[in-house]
Structure 1
């Protein structure tokens, strides 16, 4: 009956607590009270390490120097537990911790020489062990060990329950933060979602740092990287990423969550890429439509004007009429050339095959002698190539109209994170480099829109060099 009373009282204590250390302390004190033992201590075991989590009425020799005997060195019971040889409650004939206390004169051991050791477990998991002892008690009876073993099993079940509860709380908290992060990123309208999405992770989770490697090899890094790392790879469509998170430790729940976060990051980046592709397609289609309209309407009208003026000139008998009619023919012919250039700008041939091919094609269209010198392969984004081509196009037009060159050399190269396009002609040069026309101003404005600048170097009679400098983005492979 006494055994049943002990277990009933301890069962109440075990099911009241949700904090492991406080629960262990209360259960240990209650166990000593009900079993009429003098002292006890509990170790929690994690891997090869053990931690003193509860103790009651320890003798002076074991509390010496802030529990030094309990925290240093190994002992028979812990060694047996680590090696999986402590399967049930046993008598310990000699305790190394008590022996060291006596040997080093750390204080009284209250005539305690032996103790009982009981593993704390639930199912196949072992959480720690409980030791109990009494002054001048050298042996525990089988019935006493059985009661202590049942108590330890109940403690193990309570530990398992509390850990499951803590894991569930952690899971709920982590996934609540995850949902908030997803909502935040979905509401974002800023371009370059990979930066905002990855940086904001540190606002929602207590990690110390992270790095994100993108499809093109560029890496974005935030925070610190001097702790444990958890890395996961993810692919979504044409987007491949590698996410590494840094923290002092990771729970199993966090490990799974990081995989889900990587999946969503890849999804966000791929979605933005597809949106940009769709936008480019719409812009291209609109340019094609506008170019076709100009060709079918304005270009045909100009041709009709020129043809009508030519017919009128041939029939005119008055010389005073022939001259303005000839002027109309010339102006309409020039307007048609300009219109063809404008249509070509709206629908550049060959730009999908690269900037060099498009430049070469356009130079052939306007019959300008262009050669390429030591051109490096520069992988600008499509948006930058679309912006760069009209700048080069305007420079070539200026060469054709004003410089009268025999040769134009285009040179493309990289220098310290910047892509440079140099257009050099051997024409007549520019008389006043400070006097900028509309074309040059327009070129500089276009370059500024993509973070670039234009340098012009020229001397009368010595030709002109126009250099377009455009820095690479981190996402671009220069």
Structure 2
């Protein structure tokens, strides 16, 4: 007797068994391991294969940053929902995802509404999802990420499903690790190329605008940011303003100022250290202030900022920003700091070049001024005296007896005056006593002579400065005093001035203060005279600092702080 086979209804195909679909998913993943080295492709295919294997409605792959202890969503089985998911960054220990990462074990949620570990419950519920399973993806001892599976019914894992899932996770880890290593190698090569190009640009160009624009573009590329920007210290106002960017602003940044302590850049200014946030709007460390409207208008979510330092002073801020939630990694921070160092070199080179040009111009102007002064003295004073002596001697030569005595006496008197003028001219150029006696005796003589020549009374106080210093240090201090008091006599309409000189074993400080009319330091700094620039440059050459404090109507104070190494023994012995 023949057994009749059940008839299959036309138009319907029997669904494949789990083993068939699972085998297909695993084969596809094996092919992926062997063929693809693109991280984004691997992550996307892992999510899709997992959805098929585990009959999940939605699967997400979150990549781990173990140093930052953060997870970042990088792929979904349904790409259309990637930009809609409420949370794309999750810290270790938070929710089911964070717990799976922290504890490195599987987390299962049967009913999201009743499980405190569930996040974004309403969003998932609206899409018919109420249950989830999160599985860590590990490679040896490293956590690569977590696989989050979600659907409308609880996951029931039998032995067959357990074995399939374990095999799938193992294959996924291998595929992801291989792709990450390849990506890292490619990034390292590109990083080297970009950094080498910046070095060539810095060494080959003094065009600061071009170099810093390249730095910003390099920051955007290497940190895989949506945009990069550079803010620099404004020389006139001493505030930080944005000068370079890789993407047009939605809001004009001309009135945007970076203030210490406010915003992430302000925190970097205050601490001098790089900082990052994956969610600027909700970061409790950040005082938002005026920047909230700007950040919202730009659509900025994550920010990484590195200081651009010249010595101990922050001269700029280098930003990398993202318009979507993401975790800037330690490597991103290392790269941004290195790029900021390149920016600092470029700024230093530009400042050095500008100072060199200014100094060269100032030296030429100072030489011409000194030459005019000497020419004036020779022509109008010494030349006239010599002419008068010549006429007196002719008169004496024509006279007889006692009549010769008057012109000869007058000529001798003029010769004495001429000797004094020549000696004074020589002392103005460089007093020999500075080399022979040292700083304090020379300043005492100079200030007494200055007081007799001008209507300014000068008080001199010194402490610990009686010893000898290096020749360059003594010359710099004397010239700064000389230039500052020359400005007092010419411009300040002052009646009194004070010079204070203090020294210890390591440092020398000088102050020149007057009761004159004062001036606007910021305005003068924008176009410094040869005298002001010369004083600053003398201090800078000796690794010191000169500060001018003044304002219209309240006098002027010039302060110079210099290192004060002792003079060589043979030089000290001349005192």
Which interval holds the TM-score relative to the shorter structure?
0.5 to 0.7
- Aligned partners of 2:101, 2:114: CA distance in 1, in Å? 20
Q: 1:146 aligns with which of 155, 166, 183?
A: 166
Please give the residue correspondences for 1:344-383 in structure 2 after superposition, counting only pairs within 5 Å: 344-348=427-431, 353=439, 357=444, 359-363=446-450, 371-372=457-458
- Aligned partners of 2:416, 2:403: CA distance in 1, in Å? 21
Change (3 A) 1:108 1:28: closer
Cα deviation 1:309-331 (Å, max 9, x = unaligned): 88995996256655554444344
Change (3 A) 1:318 1:202: farther
- Aligned partners of 1:70, 1:252: CA distance in 2, in Å? 24
Cα deviation 1:29-53 (Å, max 9, x = unaligned): 24545x4745342242555654443
Q: What is the CA distance between 1:153 and its match in structure 2?
A: 0.6
Matched, 1:92 2:108: yes
Partner of 1:130: 147
Q: Does the Cα contact within 8 Å between 2:136 and 2:145 map onto a contact in 1? A: yes
SS of the residue corresponding to residue 177 of structure 1 reads: helix
SS of the residue corresponding to residue 422 of structure 2 reads: helix
Runs of 5+ unmatched residues, structure 2: 1-19, 220-227, 243-256, 274-306, 322-327, 464-475, 498-513, 522-527, 534-551, 562-575
- Aligned partners of 2:87, 2:362: CA distance in 1, in Å? 73
- Aligned partners of 1:152, 1:312: CA distance in 2, in Å? 116
SS of the residue corresponding to residue 42 of structure 1 reads: strand
Change (3 A) 1:474 1:316: closer
Cα deviation 1:71-112 (Å, max 9, x = unaligned): 9999864142242332xxx483625379889999945748x8
SS of the residue corresponding to residue 81 of structure 1 reads: helix
Partner of 1:422: none
SS of the residue corresponding to residue 251 of structure 1 reads: helix
Partner of 1:29: 48
Partner of 2:27: 5
- Aligned partners of 1:261, 1:102: CA distance in 2, in Å? 46
- Aligned partners of 1:276, 1:164: CA distance in 2, in Å? 46
Change (3 A) 1:40 1:391: closer
Q: Does the Cα contact within 8 Å between 2:232 and 2:317 map onto a contact in 1? A: yes
- Aligned partners of 2:155, 2:531: CA distance in 1, in Å? 86
- Aligned partners of 1:259, 1:133: CA distance in 2, in Å? 46
Q: What is the CA distance between 1:145 and its match in structure 2?
A: 1.8
Matched, 1:39 2:57: yes
- Aligned partners of 1:75, 1:234: CA distance in 2, in Å? 35
Change (3 A) 1:26 1:92: same
Q: Does the Cα contact within 8 Å between 2:308 and 2:314 map onto a contact in 1? A: yes
Task: Let me know the Cα RMSD of the aligned residues.
Answer: 6.5
Change (3 A) 1:255 1:415: farther
Matched, 1:120 2:137: yes
SS of the residue corresponding to residue 139 of structure 1 reads: coil
Q: Does the Cα contact within 8 Å between 2:59 and 2:148 map onto a contact in 1? A: yes
Q: 1:173 aligns with which of 194, 198, 206?
A: 194
- Aligned partners of 1:71, 1:391: CA distance in 2, in Å? 62
Q: 1:332 aligns with which of 407, 415, 432?
A: 415
Partner of 1:53: 74
- Aligned partners of 1:65, 1:260: CA distance in 2, in Å? 35
SS of the residue corresponding to residue 78 of structure 1 reads: helix
Task: Compare CA radii of gyration and give the structure with the larger one.
Answer: 1
Change (3 A) 1:244 1:54: same
Cα deviation 1:206-260 (Å, max 9, x = unaligned): 34435599xxxx9674444332455269999xx7545563635762222344456
- Aligned partners of 1:448, 1:108: CA distance in 2, in Å? 72
Q: Which moved more, 1:123-132 or 1:42-51?
A: 42-51
Partner of 2:264: 227
Aligned length: 387
Change (3 A) 1:414 1:261: farther
Runs of 5+ unmatched residues, structure 1: 189-194, 396-407, 420-446, 453-467
Q: 1:253 aligns with which of 330, 335, 338?
A: 335
Cα deviation 1:322-369 (Å, max 9, x = unaligned): 5554444344333333222222221246788489646424258x7999
Q: Does the Cα contact within 8 Å between 2:308 and 2:343 map onto a contact in 1? A: no
Q: Does the Cα contact within 8 Å between 2:137 and 2:143 map onto a contact in 1? A: yes
